[in-house]
Amino acid sequence: MAQLYFRYSTMNAGKSTEVLKIAHNYEEQNKKVLLCTPSIDDRYGKGKIVSRMGFERDAKIIDNEISLFKLSEKTRPDCILIDEGQFLSRTQVIDLTKVVDQLNIPVIVYGLKNDFRNHLFSGSEALLLFADKIEEVKAVCWYCSKKATMLLKFKDGKPVERGAQIEIGGNDKYVSVCRRCYSKRLELK
């Protein structure tokens, strides 16, 4: 029986690498995979899943105009893999539950759980509510050896705790940190 998986972590935990690895494993067995990424993620160009290790693949760009259920019904993949799931809407997540429940197609979504202010992204909130399985992908704090659970955002070289929730960026803007290092860095600013 198919399930909806939400695998979350902070940045730099290997989520995109995992998406590409799973796609490779399915395709090596001659199975069809639908790779997707939200249209808002344009860090490496729209419609691209790129890992920091240098692996990349083209992916279907999804936005609020695309019904993932209808697309899946038409293409009938063996699995759907979605990167940057935090940018999905609640409606899109509910659509994914229909893919799983009515079409019996497994869906695996990778993404961030919380933003740099420690608020849930709307897509992550919906995934936490509707996913059959929720799994954490471990990451290491940028400053110490503890598990990273938060994102620290930088502007002009200084940590910030205010601003727009969504600002696409990588290590140039964000680092993954543990709670202690998060608090410590914000106190020092």
Q: How many Cα atoms occupy the beta-carbon half-sphere of 7 within 13 Å?
A: 20
* Burial of 132 from C-beta contacts in 10 A (0-12 / 13-18 / 19+): middle
Residues annotated as catalytic are 84
Output the six-digit token pair for 115: 């933003």
Determine how β-strand 79-82 pairs with β-strand 48-50: unpaired
As a whole number of angstroms, the distance between CA 44 and CA 46 comes to 7
